[in-house]
Amino acid sequence: MGKQEIKELAKMIDHSILHPTMTDSILEKECEVAAKFQVASVCVKPYMVARAAELLKGTDVAVGCVIGFPHGNSTPAAKVFEAVQACGDGACEIDMVINIGKALSGDWVYVENEIRLVTAMCHEHHALVKVIFETDYVTATEDKIKLCEICTRSGADFVKTSTGYGFVKLADGNYNYRGATLADIELMRKHSGPDVRIKAAGGVRTLDDLLKMKTAGADRCGATATEAILTEAIIRFGDGK
């Protein structure tokens, strides 16, 4: 693996700038990281889109925005409105969270309708759509398969595992999340159409994590540890051997 392969790994990464405590100054610093490594995109909160687009102008780093984040409880109309505003502010990739409660209720007509509405509007604005399943909550294999089928029919560009904020209560009483797993990536790749790409998100923190997700079928990975991951790639593979 050499420089070209390192560039390809960088173009797998959506650099995540989503934590509620992240300030405008942090946004500027993280956009510098994204531009330095020429990752695929930054993924930001809705109010940050315009500033991120300004900071990344002249680079080939795309600006992405989350919609209905992190719990997916907005109405379909509100998700469409958020998506339209984000596209108007400069986003060209949209990561939308499904209505998790509706999926768990088996109300697939509702879920498909909101995915279709957001996808159609985003495509009208020439933006990619990534549909977040939140696999820490939607855990049944048959439900994940159903979502892959719906996203394929709806024309979504990506299916995505997680928000990274799907916290569940553990046996010790603490809350944490699992995020992307190799099994989920393999399942999503198997049951999504050939034109649908796969995004792993949540828990991809090391170069080895990224490489494993790539092998399992992921085309993109959300990451906050972008600098550490790609610095390790340069150290490990930068000699071209």
Any idea which residues carry the catalytic annotation? Answer: 95, 160, 199
Q: What letter does residue 239 receive in the DSSP assignment?
A: T
Task: Report how far residue 206's alpha carbon sits from residue 52's, in angstroms, rounded to the nearest whole number.
Answer: 25
Specify whether the CB–CB gap between 208 and 233 falls below 8 A.
Answer: no
What are the structure tokens assigned to 22, written together? 């992240």
- Bridge partners of 150? none
Task: Report how far residue 92's alpha carbon sits from residue 96's, in angstroms, rounded to the nearest whole number.
Answer: 13
Task: Report how far residue 209's alpha carbon sits from residue 211's, in angstroms, rounded to the nearest whole number.
Answer: 6
H or E element at residue 87 = helix 76-89
